[in-house]
Amino acid sequence: MLKQIGVAATIALGLSGALTGVASAETLKWGAARDIYSLDPYSYGDSYTLSFLNHVYEGLVRYDADLQIEPALAASWEQVSDTVWRFHLREGVTFHDGAEFTADDVLASLKRVSDPVSPLRGNLPAYKSSKKVDDYTVDIEMTGPYPLLLNDLTNIHIFDAGWLVDNDSEKPTDVGAKIEGYATYHTNGTGPFRLESRVPDSKTVLLVNENWWDEAAHNIDRIEFVPITSAATRVAALLSGEIDFSEEAPAQDVPRLSAQPELKVMERTNLRTVMLGFNRKPTLDNGSENKFNDLRVRQAFAHALDPKLIQQRIMRGKSRTAGTIVAPDIPGYSTELDTPYLYDPEQSRRLLQEAGAADYPFTLVCTTDAYVNEEELCQGIVNMLSRGGFKPQLDIAPTAAQAPKRTGGKADVYLIGWANEPMLDSYSILVQMIKSRSDTAGVFNWGGWSYPEIDSLIEQASTEMDREKRLDLQTRALELVKEEIVMLPLHQQPMAWVMDKKIDKIAQAADNKVRHWLTHVSE
C-alpha cells in the first residue's frame, strides 16, 4: 500500500538536530482538512496557514518540538535597554534564490508586517521601530517595556528585501480584503523546504532545501500538500494509501483507523480551549433586555451544562474538561481555577427564577467548520440548556456566514476556541479577548463587556519584565474571569494525527502544528 513513503508514528518530541545520516529521498503525501489561505504569511492571521508556511519561511526565533523558544535566523539576542532588543543574525544563510540573508531583510520584513494595512500587524502589538547596527545586527525598539517580544517573533517570517522590491511586494497582501500580489502565489524563504508549485484548493508541492543552514533532522525530499475537506474522503484516502499523513482524523473514525496494521494514530488534547461567550450589551440584537448582564443568569447557564456528558458522549472521551479559559501548558494557568461548575439543572432553574429570567429565550450562534464535533456539541448544549430553564434556539452555519454576527455583536451567545498562538502565554487571550475593546486590545471581545479591575491587571502585566510577577498578575485576572463568567470554558479539544507506519519520528506538540522538518521516515 505504500508508494514512495510510509507513514506511522512514534511520538518523538525534542528532535531538533538529533538525527544524522538521513536515508534515501522520500515523498510525504499530506492530506489536510483544508487549504492554506495564501503563500504570503502576512496576508491573514490564521495559525494553520502560518504553520504550513513555517516549512518555507523562518523567523528570528522559533519554537522547538517542546514549545521552547530557540534561535533561528537570529543566533543570539539581548536587551540593551528597557525598550530595545538587539538581535545578532546568523551568518551564511541564503534564501531559496541564493540571495544572502542580512539585516536589510529583517528591516524590510518588519516594515512590511507592521504596515498600517497589514492583517498581521496585531502579532507585534508593542513594536515601534527597527534599526540596522551592521549587516548582521538589528535593534528592535518597543513602545515600552514588553516581556513577550520573542514569543511574538516566532511567527514573523523574514522576506528577502531585494525580492520584495523586484516583485513590487513591499506592501502586504490581505486575504480578507481580497488584495493579492506576487507573494500570494510565490515564495522566497530561508526554510527547510522551497516551493515547487501551487494550485489553490488542489495541491501545493514543496521540495527539500538542500542549502538549509540547519542540520536536517528529516529525510523528506518532497511534500505534496493536498486539501481534502470531506472527512469521509480523507479517511478513505488514508485507508487506501493515497495519502500518508493527516493531522486531522475525525474522532468517530479514530478506532477504525487505529485498528489498521498499516497505520498509526497519535492522540492528545491540544492547547485550544473551546468556550462560550455572552453578549453583554444592554439589549440583545432583537431589542429585548439582555439578562446575560446578570451574573445569576450566567451562573444558571454554567450549572445547566453537564461536563461529563459533553466529554464522554459528545467528545467520545477524547477532550479534556476545562474549568479555566487556558490549557495547563499555557503560562498563567492555575490548577486551583481549573474546576468546572457542577451540573445542577435544578439550581439553574432556581437562579433564573431569582433573576426574573425563567424560560429565558436566546440564540446560540455556532459554526460547522471550526471545532471538533462542533455541530453535535452545539446541539447537545441546546438540549441541556432547555432542561435548565432556558429557551435556546440554535443558529448554526459555516464560519463565513457566522463571522459577521459574532464580530458585529449580534450573537446572544456564541462558541469560540482559543489556543493562545503564537504567543503561547495567557496574556494572549487576556489582551485580545478579555480586555475592554480599544484600538490595540479586545479585538475578540465580541460581547462588549468591560471590567476595569481586570483591565488594570492586564495593563500591569504588559510591562512587567519579571516573569513570576507578570504571571501572577495574569493568574489573578484569570481568577476574576472565572468569578464573573466572562467566558464559560468547556474543554480543550482533542487532536488525532494519522500516518503510515513507516514514519518513525515525528513531533506532535500541544499546539497541533505540523513540523515536518522534524519528521523521519524509516528506510
Question: What per-residue confidence (pLDDT) applies to 407?
Answer: 86
Question: What per-residue confidence (pLDDT) applies to 6?
Answer: 31
**Residue 164, phi then psi, degrees to nearest 5:** -60, -45
Average pLDDT (62-77) is 95
How confident is residue 177, by pLDDT bands cut at 50, 70 and 90? confident
Question: What per-residue confidence (pLDDT) applies to 513?
Answer: 93
Rg (CA), the chain: 24
**Contact call for residues 459 and 218 (beta carbons, < 8 A):** no
Determine if the peptide bond prior to 192 is cis (ω within 30°): no
**C-beta neighbour count of 448 within 10 angstroms:** 15
How confident is residue 398, by pLDDT bands cut at 50, 70 and 90? confident
Question: What per-residue confidence (pLDDT) applies to 370?
Answer: 83
**Contact call for residues 163 and 96 (beta carbons, < 8 A):** no
Average pLDDT (145-151) is 95
Average pLDDT (352-365) is 96
How confident is residue 34, by pLDDT bands cut at 50, 70 and 90? confident
Average pLDDT (508-519) is 94
Distances (CA, A) of 157 to 51, 171, 285: 11, 15, 40
Distances (CA, A) of 130 to 60, 88, 96, 256, 373: 14, 13, 25, 53, 44
**Residue 216, phi then psi, degrees to nearest 5:** -70, 130
**Contact call for residues 109 and 157 (beta carbons, < 8 A):** yes
Integer Cα distance of 189 and 301 in angstroms:
49
- Which of the two residues, 28 and 119, has the higher pLDDT score? 28
Amino acid letter for position 423? M
**Cell numbers linked to 68:** 521552547
**Cell numbers linked to 127:** 513594536
- DSSP code for 517: G
Integer Cα distance of 53 and 36 in angstroms:
9
Interacting residues of 258 by C-beta distance below 8 A, sequence separation 6+: 264, 265
CA 191 centroid distance within chain = 20
232 burial (CB, 10 Å; 0-12 / 13-18 / 19+) is exposed
**Contact call for residues 406 and 446 (beta carbons, < 8 A):** yes
- Residue 234 above 50 pLDDT? yes
**Contact call for residues 166 and 97 (beta carbons, < 8 A):** no
Question: What per-residue confidence (pLDDT) applies to 1?
Answer: 31
Integer Cα distance of 220 and 237 in angstroms:
20
**Cell numbers linked to 92:** 551564511
- Residue 15 above 60 pLDDT? no
Closest CA to 350 of 405, 303, 406: 303
Distances (CA, A) of 367 to 409, 448, 452: 16, 21, 31
Q: Which of the residue ranges 213-217, 366-370, 472-476 would you say has the lowest mean pLDDT? A: 366-370
Question: What per-residue confidence (pLDDT) applies to 25?
Answer: 55
Paired with 205 in beta bridges are 197, 224
Average pLDDT (392-401) is 92
Interacting residues of 178 by C-beta distance below 8 A, sequence separation 6+: none
Residue found under cell 443568569: 297
Interacting residues of 496 by C-beta distance below 8 A, sequence separation 6+: 248, 249, 251, 254, 265, 266, 267, 318
Q: What is the DSSP string of 54-91?
A: TTT---SEEE-TTS-EEESSEEEEEESSSSEEEEEEPT
Q: Over the stretch 414-471, which tens digit does the pLDDT of each residue have?
A: 999 999 988 999 999 999 999 999 877 888 899 999 999 999 999 999 999 999 999 9
- Residue 18 above 70 pLDDT? no
**Contact call for residues 224 and 4 (beta carbons, < 8 A):** no
**Cell numbers linked to 467:** 516573569
Integer Cα distance of 283 and 409 in angstroms:
11
**Contact call for residues 277 and 407 (beta carbons, < 8 A):** no
With the CA atoms of 353, 354, 357 and 359 taken in that order, what torsion angle do they form, in degrees rounded to the nearest 10? -10
- Residue 8 above 70 pLDDT? no
**C-beta neighbour count of 308 within 10 angstroms:** 10
The secondary structure of 359-403, three-state, reads CEEEEEEEECCCCCCHHHHHHHHHHHHHHCCEEEEEEEECHHHHH
Average pLDDT (198-203) is 96
Integer Cα distance of 27 and 247 in angstroms:
17
Report which secondary-structure segment, H or E, holds 109.
Answer: helix 103-113
| Residues recorded for the chain | 523
How confident is residue 122, by pLDDT bands cut at 50, 70 and 90? confident
Q: Over the stretch 465-511, which tens digit does the pLDDT of each residue have?
A: 999 999 999 999 999 999 999 999 999 999 999 999 999 999 999 99
- Residue 181 above 50 pLDDT? yes
**Residue 445, phi then psi, degrees to nearest 5:** -80, 75
Integer Cα distance of 14 and 343 in angstroms:
40
How confident is residue 47, by pLDDT bands cut at 50, 70 and 90? confident
**Cell numbers linked to 429:** 487571550
**Contact call for residues 179 and 173 (beta carbons, < 8 A):** yes
Amino acid letter for position 359? D
**Cell numbers linked to 258:** 487505529
Q: Over the stretch 310-344, which tens digit does the pLDDT of each residue have?
A: 999 999 999 999 999 999 999 999 999 999 999 99
